[in-house]
Amino acid sequence: MKRRIPLRKRLLVRLLIASALIAVCSVAATAWLAVETTTRALREEQGQDLADDMKILAELSGYAATHPRWNGVQSVVRHLAAQTGRRIALTTADRTLIADSAAKGTALPLGAAATVDPLHSDTYSETGAQLSGIDPRAVGPYKLTARERSTLQAIAEKQRSCYARFSIDTRIEQTPSGRPALLDPDGTAASDYLPQECGYGQLGVPTRTETKALEALSEGARGCLKDHGLGSDQPLYLMLNPNAAAPSSRYLVAKYAKMGDSSAMKTVRSCTDDALRAQLDPYVAPVAELYLGDDETAPPRFDMSPANKAKIVGAAGLVLAVTVVVTAVVATRLVRPLRALTEAAQQPPDMHVRVPVTTRDETGILAEAFNDLTERRERLESQRKAMVSDIAHELRSPLTNIRGWLEVTRDGVVDPDPALLASLHEEALVLQRVIDDLQDLAAADAGTLRLHREPVRADELLDQVAAAHRVAADAAGVTIRTEDDGAAWLDADPVRMRQALGNLVSNALRHTPADGTVTLAVRRNGDEVVFTVADTGSGIAPEDLPHVFERFWRAEKSRSRRTGGSGLGLPIVRHLTAAHGGTVVAACEPGSGAVFTLRMPGGPAPEG
């Protein structure tokens, strides 16, 4: 009875559901991935643009801090534009062009991106930030002479060596004015609690240039202090702060009448900073406006309008519909041969039904494999029946002879003389050989055939097999010869190898007429040891050659032991050879004898 498959379990329905889910997931995943990727790219681009903007501002601020005029800034602007891919323009406060990376005549953006003023902006002390204060690179009259720098550098090296003797790691860093500063590995000022022998305070003594600049700074701050009512008769003493990087921190108020008054000290600090800016003003470039990019073109925005939403939904629906239709067509073509296979498999085994192969895809390959399996099953069934018949025949003949002779002996018809006993013994040996052969084949089929491997010399193995069959060969009038090309060795079971070669020699002797020759040869061929057993018999017909290793097969269909054995010798040879990892093949020409070739893996010679 044909079993009905529930609708939800049919392959076609499951394929449609799976395809729909895959399509939906694919569309959703693709959309999500596109949005996420675009958003991330925009964020990275904006971050990169911001970093580039800060780099441009820092470079131009550094140029302004170290040059009293903007002459020569055009090359710097072009270099920065080439590095960042941005348009860079510098103008005065009234939009008079100073330098521009764009072609002459190109209109400026609508608004300035930043103001370049090193006296009121610090883009140097902290990377990526724009701080209020004076750019540290604006040193003006505080810039040391070459001689002063050399002297301070020697003092710094000497002091660093002294710190090292007390196991304190320090490094020397040059400030923009040229003064060396002794710092800890983390960038802070080095410890100052060391003994006097390290030259405590020597590096902090202002040079002549710095002393002159500090005096001018103190004098410049007096006017401001007077305006605030703090500079009547009290002088303002400033001293150098050698570890400060920012210009506004290079000095300390060493002495003032109202040192404890926080409001007065705040006024002093403000007046001194204003005086410092006035002192540095002649040494820096004038204030300039920085223009970047093109503000007339707005940055791209992603707007999910109703029309765009409709397009996305429509595209997703179209993809889903196409997927369903294609899947339905493919699934229908896939299910049709599967149903044919199912119906064929449900037929009785003895019918051996085949299915038509209509495609060349995986389903067609499956149909071909099913047909091959059916053919092999039919052939195995025929071989099984033939094997049962052959085994019965092989056992019936000697048992019939033994039973007949025993019955006539029991009835007193013949006497149990030595000749009769010898005949019965021979029949019993035939039975024993058939049973032993069947046991070997059964062990090989079950994978329990045991091998006791040891180093075996091939020429000695050949001589042993030839000696064992010399008597039978002499009785048949056949000459046995051996040939070898040297001391080839193999790792094998010598008993099983003698059995395999002995079966081939026995088979050759049965099919070789008197005055014939059976040749046993062995040679080394690379990593293999090749054995050959050749005879000068009648040979094997080409149509019989593929069947010589089948069980109970004999070219003589009459099953006579005079012209053939039990039909198990060659199958045993094949199994024994395969168990050793080798191969055996048969070749012959009708009328010129047969040649059986065994190829075995070679082995190393034993030590000693």
Residue 47 has pLDDT above 80, yes or no: no
pTM: 0.45
Instruction: Catalogue all structural domains in the chain, each as residue range(s) with its CATH number.
Output: 1-123+288-344 (no CATH), 140-283 (no CATH), 362-442 (1.10.287.130), 450-601 (3.30.565.10)
Backbone angles phi, psi at 137, to 5 degrees: -75, -10
Highest-pLDDT range among 114-118, 186-190, 370-374: 114-118
| H or E element that contains 326 | helix 306-345
Measured between alpha carbons, how far is 571 from 437 in angstroms, rounded to an integer? 9
Three-state DSSP string of 258-286? CCCCHHHHHHHHHHHHHHHHHHHHHHCCC
Q: How many CB atoms lie within 10 A of CB 439?
A: 11
% residues pLDDT > 70 (the chain): 75
Q: What's the DSSP call for residue 547?
A: G
Closest to 119 (Cα-Cα) out of 110, 132, 108, 130: 132
Tokens of 64: 């302004």
Measured between alpha carbons, how far is 319 from 334 in angstroms, rounded to an integer? 22
Determine the average pLDDT of the residues in 340-347: 80
Q: What is the pLDDT of residue 531?
A: 92
Tell me the C-alpha to C-alpha distance, in Å, between residue 293 and each of 56, 81, 92, 286, 441.
12, 10, 18, 23, 89
Tokens of 314: 């429509």
Closest to 401 (Cα-Cα) out of 360, 440, 431, 377: 431
pLDDT in tens, 544-587: 777 777 766 666 554 444 444 556 778 878 888 888 889 998 88
- Which stretch of 147-161, 246-260, 510-524 has the lowest confidence by average pLDDT? 246-260
CB 444 within 8 A of CB 549: no
How far is it between the farthest Cα atoms of the chain? 166
Tell me the C-alpha to C-alpha distance, in Å, between residue 230 and each of 218, 262, 266, 419, 496.
14, 13, 12, 153, 120
With tokens 């002393």, the residue in question is: 211
Write the CB contacts of 136 (distance below 8 Å, at least 6 apart in sequence).
65, 122, 124, 125, 175, 176, 245, 246, 247
Closest to 170 (Cα-Cα) out of 151, 156, 152, 149: 156
Tokens of 369: 């494999």
CB 344 within 8 A of CB 370: yes
Q: Which residues lie across from 456 on neighbouring strands? A: 490
Measured between alpha carbons, how far is 497 from 481 in angstroms, rounded to an integer? 18
Measured between alpha carbons, how far is 460 from 472 in angstroms, rounded to an integer? 20
Alpha-helical runs (H) found in 482-580: 494-510, 569-579
% residues pLDDT > 90 (the chain): 5
Determine the average pLDDT of the residues in 412-439: 74
Q: How many CB atoms lie within 10 A of CB 64?
A: 26
88-91/97-100 β-pairing: antiparallel
Write the CB contacts of 306 (distance below 8 Å, at least 6 apart in sequence).
none
Write the CB contacts of 17 (distance below 8 Å, at least 6 apart in sequence).
none
Tokens of 546: 């593929």
pLDDT in tens, 231-286: 655 566 666 665 555 554 556 665 555 566 677 778 878 888 888 888 888 999 99
Q: How is 15-38 classified by DSSP, letter by letter?
A: HHHHHHHHHHHHHHHHHHHHHHHH
In sign, the C-alpha dihedral spanning 392, 398, 400, 406 is negative
Closest to 215 (Cα-Cα) out of 141, 282, 281: 141
Q: What is the pLDDT of residue 224?
A: 82
Tell me the C-alpha to C-alpha distance, in Å, between residue 589 and each of 215, 522, 539, 543, 565.
122, 21, 6, 12, 21
67 burial via Cβ count (<10 Å: 0-12, 13-18, 19+): middle
Q: What is the pLDDT of residue 303?
A: 47
Closest to 122 (Cα-Cα) out of 110, 133, 108, 111: 133
Q: What's the DSSP call for residue 555?
A: S
State the distance between the two ends of the chain, measured CA to CA, in whole angstroms. 74
